Structure formats: C-alpha cells, structure tokens
C-alpha cells in the first residue's frame, strides 16, 4: 500500500496583509502546492469577486440558474434547502459530494476554483457529518494508484488518458497532460461528481469505468479533510486539485419541537 502523504494546507490571514501582498502570497501558493486557505475574509459578494478577479475572470455556472447567488451570477450558493433537495439540485443536498473538478465539461479547462465559507453551520455533530471540505490532490491520487496497482498501473493510467463516455453524451478524457507537469504523475483531471455512478450503470464493462473507480478510491484515501470556519476562503488549481464535501445534517428539532434548518452556507466560484 502507498505511504505518500498529502501536503499541508497553507493558511494566510486576510487581516494581516494588504491587498497586493495577499494576492502575491496567494499566487506563490498556487504556483507551489496549488492550494491555500485565507482566513478572516469578509463574507460579501463584492469583496469576494474583487479578490478573485486578481487571478482571472469569474465564470457563470454553465448549468441551470438553480443555486446562483441573487447578487452575483458568478457565485454558486451552497445551502441546504429541503424543497430544492427534493428536486435533486446539487447545491441544496445534504449528502456527501465526492471529490470532483469544477466545470468539468468546459474546454479549455478553467484555471482556478474558490470557495468561501459564509456560515459554518452546525459543527457539533459526529465526524464527517459537519460538512467538512474535501480537497483532493490529483497527483497524490495518481502516485497512490501507481504504488497500489503495481504492474496494472500503466493500463489504468492509459484508460484515464483515453476518452470515456460522459453523462451528457460526449466522450472525453478524464486525465490530460499538463504543459507545466512536474512529474509523470502530475496529470490534469476532469472528474464529474456523477461520472462513476453513470459509468457503473451505463458502461459497467468499459475499461474507463475500472480506471475511474481506481481514481475515485485513491482520491478518497489521500484527500485532505478540513473544517472551514466562517470567513475561510479556499483557492485552488483546478487542474491539480479536486474538491468535495462530507455529509451535512440538514434539519434538527429545537427544544420546542420545531424543525430548524442547518444555516451552513458556502459560496463557490470558478475562475478562468
């Protein structure tokens, strides 16, 4: 079994740096490990988008308008809502979200992804039911596959570099070569959160299904799991890192017997 370790998550305080200094430090982190956390960030749409524009153009979500922030169409608002969850709208679900890429169907690939915790919600529940953020370094997942699979690794790696069917009817590669690759295992990854369930149901014997299953398992084993506090901002390299979330408990009864909703709210933005 592999013994490779995930990198530490660098944290920078928004209050302790001026704007240009913070942007410079963030760019250095993105050029290195490819991910950083900024603590104590103001939870306003204006400040959030102004900071992100230093790294590129914030993109509108390319799906439906469900979940878009009423003040800014570039921001996706992730918050439990029972009616929206009953319709299957991802932004409103309480269950876990496996590690995936931002806007995986978009070409060329968007460079960065960010999320800002506006309200951390209930944090007193058992581990992995507090909506802990999942950050998956793809290089580490590929290295783990190499160590675990032995002689079978090369064929699995090639299957990820070959086209596989996607839920929208297209065929795309899950892995792709990076011009700035730092090692043979430093691959770009485009992974939809529902790709593996789709492949297992529609293409159970496809060699890509087998390969994606190995990638998802390796990412699950090697991902960082962090409890973001209100005002914590995460910015990551969208080629090299995936993101997801552990389960959220959506509702609970208060002392008066009334049903209350978990106030957890997170905003996310994709940057090109």
Which stretches of the chain score pLDDT less than 50?
Answer: 1-5
* Cα–Cα distance measured from residue 268 to residue 272, given in angstroms and rounded to the nearest whole number: 14
At 19 the pLDDT is 87
At 6 the pLDDT is 52
At 9 the pLDDT is 86
Q: How far is CA 206 from CA 49, 161, 200, 203, 218, in A?
A: 41, 14, 9, 5, 19
At 61 the pLDDT is 79
Q: What element of type H or E holds 156?
A: helix 153-161
Domain count within the chain: 1
Instruction: Report pLDDT digits (tens) over 124-155.
Output: 999 999 999 999 999 999 999 999 999 999 99
* Cα–Cα distance measured from residue 103 to residue 87, given in angstroms and rounded to the nearest whole number: 21
The pTM for the full model equals 0.94
Indicate whether 191 belongs to any domain: yes
Indicate whether 62 belongs to any domain: yes
Q: Is the dihedral of CA 184, 189, 193, 196 positive or negative?
A: negative
At 4 the pLDDT is 46
Identify the CATH number of the domain in which residue 239 sits.
3.60.130.10
241: β partners: 137
The whole domain housing 111 covers 10-248+258-271
Instruction: Report pLDDT digits (tens) over 203-242.
Output: 999 999 999 999 999 999 999 999 999 999 999 999 999 9
Q: Which long-range contacts (CB under 8 A, 24 or more apart) does 120-124 make?
A: 120/227, 120/228, 120/229, 120/230, 120/264, 121/248, 121/262, 121/263, 121/264, 121/265, 122/249, 122/252, 122/262, 122/263, 122/264, 123/227
Indicate whether 3 belongs to any domain: no
Contact 38, 230 (CB under 8 A): no
Torsion of CA 51, 52, 56, 60, to 10 degrees: -140
């Amino acid at each position: 079994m592999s013994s490779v370790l995930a990198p530490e998550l660098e944290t920078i305080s928004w209050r302790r740096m001026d704007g240009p200094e913070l942007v410079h430090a963030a760019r250095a982190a993105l050029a290195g490990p490819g991910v950083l956390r900024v603590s104590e960030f103001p939870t306003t749409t204006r400040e959030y988008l102004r900071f992100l524009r230093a790294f590129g153009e914030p993109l509108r979500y390319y799906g439906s308008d469900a979940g878009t922030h009423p003040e800014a169409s570039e921001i996706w608002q992730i918050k439990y809502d029972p009616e929206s969850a009953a319709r299957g709208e991802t932004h409103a679900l309480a269950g876990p979200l496996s590690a995936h890429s931002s806007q995986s169907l978009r070409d060329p690939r968007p460079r960065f992804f960010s999320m800002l915790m506006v309200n951390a919600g209930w944090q007193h529940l058992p581990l992995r039911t507090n909506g802990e953020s999942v950050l998956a370094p793809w290089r580490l997942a590929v290295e783990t596959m190499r160590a675990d699979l032995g002689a079978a690794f090369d064929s699995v790696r090639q299957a990820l570099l070959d086209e596989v069917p996607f839920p929208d009817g297209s065929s795309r590669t899950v892995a792709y070569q990076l011009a700035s690759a730092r090692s043979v295992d430093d691959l770009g990854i485009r992974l939809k959160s529902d790709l593996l369930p789709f492949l297992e149901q529609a293409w159970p014997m496809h060699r890509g299904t087998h390969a994606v299953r190995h990638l998802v398992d390796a990412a699950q084993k090697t991902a960082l799991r962090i409890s973001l506090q209100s005002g914590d901002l995460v910015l990551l390299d969208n080629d090299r890192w995936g993101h997801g979330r552990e389960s959220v408990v959506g509702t609970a009864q208060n002392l008066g017997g009334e049903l209350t909703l978990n106030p957890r709210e997170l905003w996310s933005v994709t940057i090109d």
